[in-house]
Amino acid sequence: MDVFIDTFLNGEVLAQYAPSILQGALVTVLLSVLIVIFGVAFGAARACLRAYRVRALAALIMIFADVFRALPPLVLILLIFFGLPNVGVVLSAPIVLFLVLSLVLGAFAEEIVWAGITATPKGQWEAARSTGLSHTQALIWVVLPQAIRMVIPPLTNRAIAITKMTALGMVIGVPDILGQATTAQSFSANASPLTLAAIAYVILFLPFVMASRWLEARFARPML
């Protein structure tokens, strides 16, 4: 037991590297918030464009979604971070992580929101158009609010899954929680910083997991 505590819960090591882990937590939170905002907005916008039923545009949107859902995010991160400099484009590690995860989340968000749009009864479109609303107005004011309500639970779950992938930034030197923890572990030759990182992830993401469970139950109930 003493060996276990000294390896994973060493008080001196925890106290020494707690500030750097906290700094990494701030980076993780900032990246996660930006990824969710831009990823969901990008995906929802493309789902709305797809609702215009323009075949060429819809095909491009589908290809984009399929490619970014199929490729592992780590492959995209390494490809962009190490490949683009060869053609003269240099991006910082946090920017690369933000771009890749935002695009991946956008790909999933587009498919989720599109499923909500197609699940909205056709009569809602017809009723909206009969009142004089244009296709765009019907989409924004009538169909989209109903679609978003239906897809909030899966969209929230996917957003949580993608934002946890900020840990992948460690491989390109992003100073997030795991990046700071692995650096600290290397210097201290002790696993305690990794334990602290695990605790930080639980503290940060457990409330979102609980919120997603509540949302799933809340929006599963029919509208009154």
Is the pLDDT confidence value at 209 over 50? yes
The rounded percent of the chain whose pLDDT value lies above 90 is: 80
Residue 181, domain member (yes or no)? yes
Cα distances (angstroms) measured from residue 72 to each of 46, 77, 163:
21, 9, 14
Residue 26, domain member (yes or no)? yes
The chain-wide mean pLDDT, for the chain, equals 92
Which tokens is 19 given?
A: 């500030």
Query: What is this structure's pTM?
Result: 0.90
Residue 72, domain member (yes or no)? yes
Is the pLDDT confidence value at 220 over 90? no
Q: What is the pLDDT of residue 116?
A: 94
Residue 10, domain member (yes or no)? no
Over residues 16-68, the pLDDT tens digits come to: 999 999 999 999 999 999 999 999 999 999 999 999 999 999 999 999 999 99
Residue 11, domain member (yes or no)? no
Compute the average pLDDT of residues 114-135: 92
Query: In total, how many domains does the chain have?
Result: 1
Residue 8, domain member (yes or no)? no
Compute the average pLDDT of residues 126-141: 92
Which tokens is 109 given?
A: 């968000």
Compute the average pLDDT of residues 131-142: 93
Which tokens is 218 given?
A: 């809340």
Compute the average pLDDT of residues 95-118: 96
Residue 4, domain member (yes or no)? no
Q: Crossing angle, helix 11-50 and helix 93-119, to 10 degrees?
A: 50
Angle at the Cα of 68 (from 63 to 69), degrees rounded to 5?
Answer: 100
Over residues 191-202, the pLDDT tens digits come to: 999 999 999 999
Compute the average pLDDT of residues 149-172: 91
CATH of the domain at 79: 1.10.3720.10
Compute the average pLDDT of residues 209-216: 82
Greatest Cα-to-Cα distance within the chain, rounded to the nearest angstrom: 75
148: containing domain:
21-220
Q: What is the pLDDT of residue 207?
A: 87
Q: Which residue has the tokens 């993780």?
A: 28
Compute the average pLDDT of residues 167-182: 93
Phi then psi for residue 54, to 5 deg, are: -85, 115
Phi then psi for residue 175, to 5 deg, are: -80, 55
Residue 12, domain member (yes or no)? no
Is the pLDDT confidence value at 224 over 70? no
Over residues 177-188, the pLDDT tens digits come to: 999 999 999 999
Is the pLDDT confidence value at 7 over 90? no
Q: What is the pLDDT of residue 91?
A: 94
Q: Crossing angle, helix 93-119 and helix 144-163, to 10 degrees?
A: 150
Is the pLDDT confidence value at 221 over 70? no
